[in-house]
Amino acid sequence: MRDFYEVLGIDREASESDIKKAYRRLAMEHHPDRNPGNKSAEDKFKEASNAYKVLSDPGQRARYDQFGPEGLNGGGAGFRGVDDIFSAFGDLFSDFFGSPRGRRQRRGADLQIHVDLTFAEAVHGVTKELDLERQEPCDTCDGSGAKPGTSREDCQVCAGKGQVLHAQGFFMIQTTCPSCRGEGSILRERCPSCRGAGTHGKSSKLTVNVPAGVDDGQTLRLAGKGESARSGPAGHLYVSINVAPDPRFVREGEDVLTEVPISYVTAALGGEVEIPTLEENCQGTAKVDIKAGTQPGDVIVRSGKGVPRIGARGAGDHVVRFAVEIPKKLSARERDLLKEIAEERGETVGDGKRGVFSRLKR
């Protein structure tokens, strides 16, 4: 367990005001509603809240200063979850964030959509216009759920806290307010268009900039582009990427492989061959030199000519692998020349014609 003063970034002589300011800064930075789905931020939020819980209480702080965590006798036990923190410091969060007595805002639902890309679009990036069906703020009530000219009112049962306390023996149990269902406010008159929901289904178009270098199966998260909620921020939109294959390129991460067929003559004597490249929206070409004596499967690497790296500089490599093709049929002139070469090399060869048994194997 880290020292509580270290957690809040204050010294041991800090005043009550200093402690509150330090906690406010950390709470605003790591608040779960500002970092949805971020486990690290949530852990830091709980750590700061535990430290504030002890140091803001004069009695617990004195015991902590004298004996350390062992002197708290359970009084400094950590919060079990974020909801415990909001319940304990509800009024404090009202001061921090201006939300009604620390009530947690409910985020809208997340949405997922699939987008099909060509290989070139994935490599070079593309702008896509998506058609969405989602919940958006009601035009009549501007998302409040209240009839125009009226507004939501604090719940009288929980005094706007969204939580109520019940005595159970020697314990006080806190539960969600049954009147407002945890929202802390109620509607006297509902909006006639959305019937108090604050949102309604709507078709809309959304422009998405797909970055260069995305790969098949990856997902883009567009924060706040999901469904709207009446009392909180919108959810997120997750865009799943489907990339069509390209027979000229095999991708592995940021590297791409192109297999180029060459004749056995070019492999033996060397030469030049034209290959497809990722340049010019994957329609480019380049000429590469082939060394004499190139073997089947030999490669050359075009460094930095592969797929761009997302969020980083540079690109992967373009690997060109040579496939040496052996002709199945030869002209009489080709057979004669190859026999001459074989004689010079002292090799015994056939006549270059198919035998009787070769027909059976077809």
- Give residue-wise pLDDT tens across range 200-229: 888 989 999 999 999 999 999 998 898 888
Among 92, 93, 105, which Cα is nearest to 183's?
105
Question: Measured in whole angstroms, how far is the alpha carbon of residue 74 from the centre of its chain?
Answer: 39
Domain ranges of the chain: 4-102, 111-143+193-243, 250-326
Which CATH code, of 3.40.50.720, 3.30.300.30, 3.90.1150.10, 2.60.260.20, is assigned to 111-143+193-243? 2.60.260.20
pTM of the model: 0.61
pLDDT at 100: 43
At 244, list the tokens: 């069509």
> 10 — phi, psi (to 5°)?
-130, 165
Q: Is 250-326 a domain of CATH 3.30.2270.10?
A: no
Measured distance CA(261)–CA(239) in Å, rounded: 38
pLDDT confidence of residue 81: 66
The per-residue pLDDT for range 309-345, each reduced to its tens digit, is 988 889 999 999 999 999 888 899 988 898 998 898 8
Angle CA(115)–CA(121)–CA(123) in degrees, nearest 5? 120
Q: In angstroms, rounded to a whole number, what is the distance separating the alpha carbons of residues 319 and 300? A: 6
Q: Do domains 4-102 and 111-143+193-243 have the same CATH topology?
A: no
pLDDT tens track of the chain, all 362 residues? 789 999 999 999 999 889 988 988 888 888 876 777 788 888 898 898 888 888 988 878 888 888 777 767 554 456 666 666 665 665 565 555 544 444 555 678 899 999 999 999 999 999 999 999 998 888 898 888 889 988 888 888 888 887 888 776 666 677 888 888 777 888 888 999 988 888 888 898 999 999 999 999 999 999 889 888 876 788 899 999 999 999 999 999 999 999 999 999 999 999 999 999 999 999 999 999 999 999 999 999 999 999 999 888 899 999 999 999 998 888 999 888 989 988 988 888 887 666 545 555 55
β partners of residue 274: 287
Instruction: Please check whether residue 48 is in contact with residue 35, taking contact to mean a CB–CB distance below 8 angstroms.
Output: no
Kindly report the CATH class assigned to 4-102: mainly alpha
pLDDT of residue 359: 52
241 neighbors 218 (Cβ within 8 angstroms): yes
Q: Which of 257, 87, 55, 68 is nearest to 172 (CA)?
A: 87
Rounded distance between C-alpha atoms, residue 38 and residue 31, angstroms = 10
